[in-house]
Amino acid sequence: MEVQDFLELFRKYLRTRGLYDTRARERVAAALFRSPGHVDAATLGHRLRQEGSPAAPATVYRTLELLVQAGLARKFVWNDRTLYEAALGRPHHEHLLCTRCGRIAEFHDAPLEERIAEVYEERGFRPTSHQVLLFGICPECSGE
Amino acid sequence: MEVQDFLELFRKYLRTRGLYDTRARERVAAALFRSPGHVDAATLGHRLRQEGSPAAPATVYRTLELLVQAGLARKFVWNDRTLYEAALGRPHHEHLLCTRCGRIAEFHDAPLEERIAEVYEERGFRPTSHQVLLFGICPECSGE
DNA sequence: GTGCATGCAAAAATTTTGCACATCA
DNA sequence: TGATGTGCAAAATTTTTGCATGCAC
């Protein structure tokens, strides 16, 4: 999926809600989608500044929140860090976090997802989203 | 498991590390263990104040961190809230969170845990801890 | 033109840190 | 007694909010 397609979806979301399609919002959205992996709000703001298209922290936060609500971004918190990642064009995945080096690895596991779906059903919860965080020591760190 | 047993373990942890067994630490530890479910640092501080055994915020944070390191407490973050819970005498469990009413339900699912263990193995990570957060609408909220 | 969004700065909320004094072993 | 912990207050973070101005529709 291209940045343009992503932006188009964001525009559509804004339109259907009567919200404005502004430059600041497009910049923040584009910056997020161009970011591989995860970013926090401060880093995103920093990148925008470097690109010569700064956005106020408040705007970054407000836009990221919009993107999450639109289903175009995911938000997750680890170790006091609030991270965002683009949610489209990237398959759903969970995270493996190395507590020694801080590396974050992604993985997808079908049986795990299936079991999660079953848990939802058994408990009578209607699923909206979920997140699995596996903390451990990565091969590199435990091998040395 | 009784509060006293829990405290004894904490004392042992402190002793083996050459740390002091102080009143403030005992109070915070006892308050955490007496708390059903989850508490945040501010709430814990509030309870201590009500009991007439106040502890400074800094002390609450420092002690909770010790308890986590000792394996006597678990820490998890949800929706910008940092929560702590006693980790002993309570079986390991995951969380189901209702995004409508804010209720937090606990569950344990053996097949899910097994699959998680397999994921660790497949990726070569040495497990330390994990957390599964399932967001959704609880039966009460979706039924009405 | 009207209304929503932005940017700024101030505020809020949360957690950490420095340091003098108190406490523990 | 000497090392470690506590409390306080200040600081550092991180995120939110109020409000005047600026854009989008």
Count other C-beta atoms under 10 Å from residue B72's C-beta: 20
**Three-state SS at A33:** helix
Average pLDDT (B37-63) is 93
Domain coordinates in residue numbering, chain B? 3-86, 94-142
Lowest average pLDDT, out of A76-80, B17-21, B81-85, B131-135, goes to A76-80
Query: Does residue A115 have a pLDDT over 60?
Result: yes
Q: Are B54 and B48 in contact (CB under 8 A)?
A: yes
CA–C1' span, A86 to C13, in Å? Answer: 27
Mutation test of the interface with chain B: which of A119, A120, A129, A144, choosing the one with the most B Cβ atoms within 10 A?
Answer: A119
Chain C bases near protein Cβ (<7 Å): 3-9, 14-18, 23-25
Of B28, B132, B37, the C-alpha closest to B84 is B37
Q: B111: helix, coil or strand?
A: helix
Specify the pLDDT at position B103. 74
pLDDT tens per residue across span A38-48: 899 999 999 99
Distance of alpha carbon B115 from alpha carbon A114, whole angstroms: 10
CB < 7 A to strand C: residues 53-72, chain B: 57-58, 61-62, 65
pLDDT tens, position by position, B61-102: 999 999 999 989 998 877 678 899 998 777 789 989 887 776
The number of residues in chain A equals: 144
User: What's this model's pTM, rounded to 2 decimal places?
Assistant: 0.80
Q: Residue B91 has what pLDDT? A: 78
Taking contacts as CB-CB distances below 8 angstroms, the residues of chain A near B80 are 77, 82
pLDDT at A144 > cutoff 60: no
> What token pair was written down for A28?
């923040």
Closest approach of chain B CAs to the CA of A43, in angstroms? 19
b/e per residue, A85-121, with b = 16+ CB within 10 A?
bbbeeeeeebbbbbbeeeebbeeebeebbebbeebbe
Predicted local confidence at residue B144, as pLDDT: 58
State the nearest Cα–Cα gap between A80 and chain B, in angstroms.
Answer: 8
Return the number of other C-beta atoms located less than 10 Å from residue A60's C-beta. 25
Protein residue closest to C24, using CA and C1': B20
**Residues of chain A (74-133) having a beta carbon less than 7 angstroms from strand C:** 80
Instruction: Give the confidence band of A1 by pLDDT, cuts at 50, 70, 90.
Output: low
Q: Topology of A3-86 in CATH?
A: Arc Repressor Mutant, subunit A (1.10.10)
> Tens digit of pLDDT for each residue in A69-110?
998 999 887 767 899 999 877 778 999 988 777 778 889 999
Q: Is the CB of A55 under 7 A from strand C?
A: yes
Is there a contact between B99 and A128 if contact means CB atoms under 8 Å apart?
A: yes
pLDDT of residue B1: 65
State the nearest Cα–Cα gap between A53 and chain B, in angstroms: 28
Q: How high is the pLDDT of residue A125? A: 95
Question: Strands A126-137 and B73-78: what pairing?
Answer: unpaired
Chain B partners within 8 Å of A105 (Cβ): 123, 125
Q: Minimal Cα distance from B78: which residue of A?
A: A77
How far is the C-alpha of A6 from the C-alpha of A2, rounded, in Å?
6
Q: Quick one: pLDDT at residue A48?
A: 95
Residues 39-78 of B with CB under 8 A from A: 77-78
Q: Give chain B's mean pLDDT.
A: 90
Domain B94-142 grouped into CATH 3.40.50.2020: no
Token output for A57: 């922290």
Question: Cα separation of A39 and B68, whole Å?
Answer: 27
